[in-house]
Amino acid sequence: MGAEVVVEGLTKSFGRQTIWRDVTLTLPPGEVSVMLGPSGTGKSVFLKSMIGLLKPDRGKCVVNGVDVVSCSESRLYETRKLFGVLFQDGALFGSMNLYDNVAFPLREHTRKSETEIKRIVLEKMDMVGLAGAEKKLPGEISGGMRKRAGLARALVLDPEIILCDEPDSGLDPVRTAYISQLLIDLNAQVDATILIVTHNINLARTVPDNLGMLYRRELVMFGPREVLLTSDEPAVQQFLNGSRFGPIGMSEEKDVATLAAEQELADSGHHDGSAEELTGVVPQLQPTPGLPERMGVRRRKDRVMSILHSLPPAAQESIIESLTPEDQQRYGVRPHMATATAAATVPAGHRPSPAPRPPQAGERFQGDLSGVAEIPQSPWRPPHQQGPGGGA
Ligand SMILES: Nc1ncnc2c1ncn2[C@@H]1O[C@H](COP(=O)(O)OP(=O)(O)OP(=O)(O)O)[C@@H](O)[C@H]1O
């Protein structure tokens, strides 16, 4: 199973420019998470900070008990071996064929024989659908194949955590769908913790177990995918719909006058440029038939049900609806109970419309929804309730 990554109060500036501040989140072991955010919000900087390539000003990023922000160079070197990274452009060596590119970390960081290296390289190239392409040079293959080769290279040291920087960049929608499926299939096979940064909405809607968004130098939210996908936060809705109308502007947030002018345009029927008004939670991608079941999904179910009462009602409903009738019975929940409970706890005339604001990073939903779910014996506890060494 992949490692848990606990990020606490992480803050990063370049000179006087704060990129993001007080980022706090936990990547649950073996689950797939996506970090969304408009261009330039510091998603790549976040990934680089997690592996110690950039030094945050404050905060922690703890992996297997080691804080990569403050640890010694030698511990950082060791801890980095737990990570496999797919950089935005694949970061392949142009003069080496794919075989040598994928073999590179093994030759660099291990003492394995060439026979053993060959076995591993061929296995990983097969996993990413590149069997037979070993002799090709990066310049001779498509962008999608370069991403796959980058992923194969990220896998050779059997990482516990895989970081993917915009795996969809430069790919058409069909190739993006293939790479999305590949990421789910890889997670099913290796059970690694995966964090993907992207601004691709389709990937964000269909791939992850958890979704977060960086915006205005902060983590707007991070949690089970249903929280962000049912959020009525204007910046989140605008981003998910790829709309010009909303608080996110061309290069920064908009002022009140611009927002009012936009509202007038919208009211007069002007189209906002978005392709479609998608709302809600679409089904998550499943591993290709024949591959193992994703263990992360099983663990996530117990984990999410243990925090269900802290989530906004719309997210709760979506989670409850995604359960089988047997699971609903096992957890003691039924459809519509979250919204009914929420409505019952708010005085008539003061009902939230349409749903209360979802919890921000580090903030809990304020409604009285305790007792919505009864959790059977589950080893998972939120990080702040864990003792030393606690985990899933
Ligand atoms: N080494 C650096 N020195 C100074 N500024 C930097 C450095 N690296 C990144 N930045 C700045 O940090 C900000 C965030 O950059 P980053 O590449 O992380 O954004 P992003 O969210 O990944 O964007 P995109 O989605 O376009 O890839 C940008 O303003 C960038 O110019």
User: Which residue in the block uniquely carries the two structure tokens 């795996």?
Assistant: 167
pLDDT value of position 238? 78
39 lines ligand 1 (CB under 6 A): yes
| Angle (CA) 286 127 155, round 5° | 100
User: What CA dihedral angle connects 219, 221, 224 and 228, to 10 degrees?
Assistant: -120
Question: Among candidates 225, 231, 230, 234, which has minimal Cα distance to 203?
Answer: 225
Q: How would you write 335-389 as a 3-class SS string?
A: CCHHHHHHHHHCCCCCCCCCCCCCCCCCCCCCCCCCCCCCCCCCCCCCHHHCCCC
Ligand 1: distance of its center to the CA of 193 in Å? Answer: 24
Ligand 1: distance of its center to the CA of 354 in Å? Answer: 36
38 lines ligand 1 (CB under 6 A): no
pLDDT value of position 380? 37
Question: Among candidates 141, 51, 144, 154, which has minimal Cα distance to 101?
Answer: 154
Question: Among candidates 315, 304, 305, which has minimal Cα distance to 356?
Answer: 315
Alpha-carbon radius of gyration of the chain? 22
Testing ligand 1's pocket by substitution, the residue of 13, 35, 44, 85 carrying the most ligand atoms inside 8 A of its CB is 44
pTM of the model: 0.82
Sorted by where each starts, the structural domains of the chain and their CATH numbers stand as 5-221 (3.40.50.300), 297-385 (no CATH)
Query: Are the C-beta atoms of residues 168 and 200 closer than 8 Å to each other?
Result: yes
Q: How many helices (H) and strands (E) does the chain have?
A: 14, 10
pLDDT value of position 367? 37
Please list, in sequence order, all residues whose beta carbon lies within 8 angstroms of the beta carbon of residue 260, skipping any fewer than 6 positions away: none
Nearest atom in ligand 1 to the alpha carbon of residue 48 is: 18
Nearest atom in ligand 1 to the alpha carbon of residue 15 is: 4
pLDDT value of position 196? 97
pLDDT in tens, the chain (392 residues): 899 999 999 999 999 999 999 999 999 999 999 999 888 889 999 999 999 999 999 999 999 999 999 999 999 999 999 999 998 877 899 999 999 999 999 999 899 999 999 999 999 999 999 999 999 999 999 888 999 999 999 999 999 999 999 999 888 888 889 999 999 999 999 999 999 999 888 899 999 999 999 988 889 889 999 999 998 887 787 777 777 776 776 555 656 666 666 666 666 665 555 555 556 788 899 999 999 999 999 899 999 999 998 899 999 999 999 999 999 998 888 888 766 665 555 444 443 333 333 444 444 333 333 334 444 443 434 444 444 433 33
pLDDT value of position 357? 39
User: Which residue in the block uniquely carries the two structure tokens 């205005």?
Assistant: 216
231 lines ligand 1 (CB under 6 A): no
Ligand 1: distance of its center to the CA of 150 in Å? Answer: 21
pLDDT, tens only, 190-238: 999 999 999 888 899 999 999 999 988 889 889 999 999 998 887 787 7
Strand 17-27 relative to strand 193-197: parallel, antiparallel, unpaired? Answer: unpaired
Query: Are the C-beta atoms of residues 152 and 125 closer than 8 Å to each other?
Result: yes
358 lines ligand 1 (CB under 6 A): no
pLDDT value of position 83? 95
Half-sphere exposure of 31 (CA within 13 A, CB side): 25
